[in-house]
Amino acid sequence: MTLRPRRIVIYMFLLLAAFVFLIPVYVMVATSLKGMEEAALDRMWELPSSIQWQSYVIAWEKLAPHLLNSLYLAVPATILSALLGSLNGYVLSKWRFPGADGLFTLILFGMFIPYQSVLIPLIQFLQQIHLYNTIPGLVFVHVVYGIPITTLIFRNFYAGIPDGILEAAKMDGSGMIGIYWRIVLPLSVPGFVVVGIWQFTQVWNEFLFAVTLTSTSQQPVMVALQNLSGSQIVQWNVQMAGALLAALPTILVYIFLGRYFIRGLLAGSLKG
């Protein structure tokens, strides 16, 4: 294929955009590998002269318990909200009762609200049931406020399963639960992967609930990272190492399962 001038311009432009997109990644990686004396403000863009792991050691010490908190938070929250979303999506796409669309719209609204508008009662409620400042409390919150998005993605997903398959099962006398269990659920694996990855990323990265509903030892990693970078005494190579450590799980998910992540991204933003 010969390169025409127009194509060269396109490539040049895309390469330039890629370069700009990679600047923060370069800053993060290069700085985190520098030693204390090299991580000086006027040498920001220089490559590290030798690779030093000491900033990772310090960041790991500070963040490890919080990384664990985030894991205990994100995994159960993801599984539970995916299961709820699957059931809801199934009913709302295949067993539509009168008013189902209106109800779905009312549920969907919960996805867009600023969570500031529920925070004060939420804290009061969690204190009442003794789940304030606990990881299970945060799991509960993410499951509840995850209902709209998981329901939306599964509802769109199940719309793609032909009704004919379900009709046949109905003829055989299967009920709603039976059809879900024997026919729909086995077909749902891609749906669960998309929703699972999307929810995991969202819950892992979430900050507002985390910072208001937990303190000190219960804090998820993003709050701990913010505390780390907000303090004056911490060197910024440690901050960068911390940022990379905190982002690593979602980066890995993106690298290995990116196509499902993007499907979730698009499914969540378009009403099917």
Q: Within 128-157, which residues bind another protein (CB under 8 A)? A: 144-145, 147-148, 151
- Which residues, numbered 219-258, are part of the site for another protein (CB under 8 A)? 222, 225-226, 229, 236, 239-240, 243, 246-247, 250-251, 253-254, 258
Q: How many residues line the site for another protein (CB under 8 A)?
A: 96
CB of 174 to another protein, least distance (A): 10
- Give the C-alpha separation, 225 to 207, whole Å: 10
**Ramachandran region of residue 224, left (φ > 0), alpha (ψ -120 to 50) or beta?**
alpha
- Which residues, numbered 200-219, are part of the site for another protein (CB under 8 A)? 201, 204-208, 211-212
CB of 57 to another protein, least distance (A): 19
- Which residues, numbered 50-109, are part of the site for another protein (CB under 8 A)? 84, 87-88, 91-92, 95-98, 100-109
Among 224, 259, 257, 254, smallest CA distance to 238 is for 224
Helix, strand or coil, per DSSP, at residue 211: helix
Q: Which is nearer to another protein, 107 or 131 (CB)?
A: 107
Q: Which of 75, 118, 131, 183 binds another protein (CB under 8 A)?
A: 118
Mark the segment that binds another protein (CB under 8 A) among 18-26, 61-69, 127-135, 181-189.
18-26
- Give the C-alpha separation, 23 to 81, whole Å: 36
Length of the chain: 272
Q: Which of 71, 75, 79, 119 binds another protein (CB under 8 A)?
A: 119
CB of 272 to another protein, least distance (A): 6
- Give the C-alpha separation, 163 to 157, whole Å: 13
Instruction: Tell me the two tokens of residue 168.
Output: 């046949």
- Which residues, numbered 176-205, are part of the site for another protein (CB under 8 A)? 176-177, 201, 204-205
Q: Which of 5, 50, 114, 129 binds another protein (CB under 8 A)?
A: 114
On whether the CB atoms of residues 157 and 194 are closer than 8 A, the answer is: yes
CB atoms within 10 A of CB 231: 10
Q: Which of 175, 187, 190, 231 binds another protein (CB under 8 A)?
A: 175
Separation of first and last alpha carbons in the chain: 39
Work out the burial of residue 228: count CB atoms within 10 Å of its CB; fewer than 13 is exposed, 13-18 middle, 19 or more buried. Answer: buried
Q: Which is nearer to another protein, 27 or 79 (CB)?
A: 27
- Give the C-alpha separation, 252 to 38, whole Å: 28
Q: Which is nearer to another protein, 65 or 272 (CB)?
A: 272
Helix, strand or coil, per DSSP, at residue 257: helix
Q: Which of 120, 127, 165, 182 binds another protein (CB under 8 A)?
A: 120
Among 117, 154, 108, 265, smallest CA distance to 201 is for 265
CB of 35 to another protein, least distance (A): 17
Q: Which is nearer to another protein, 24 or 65 (CB)?
A: 24
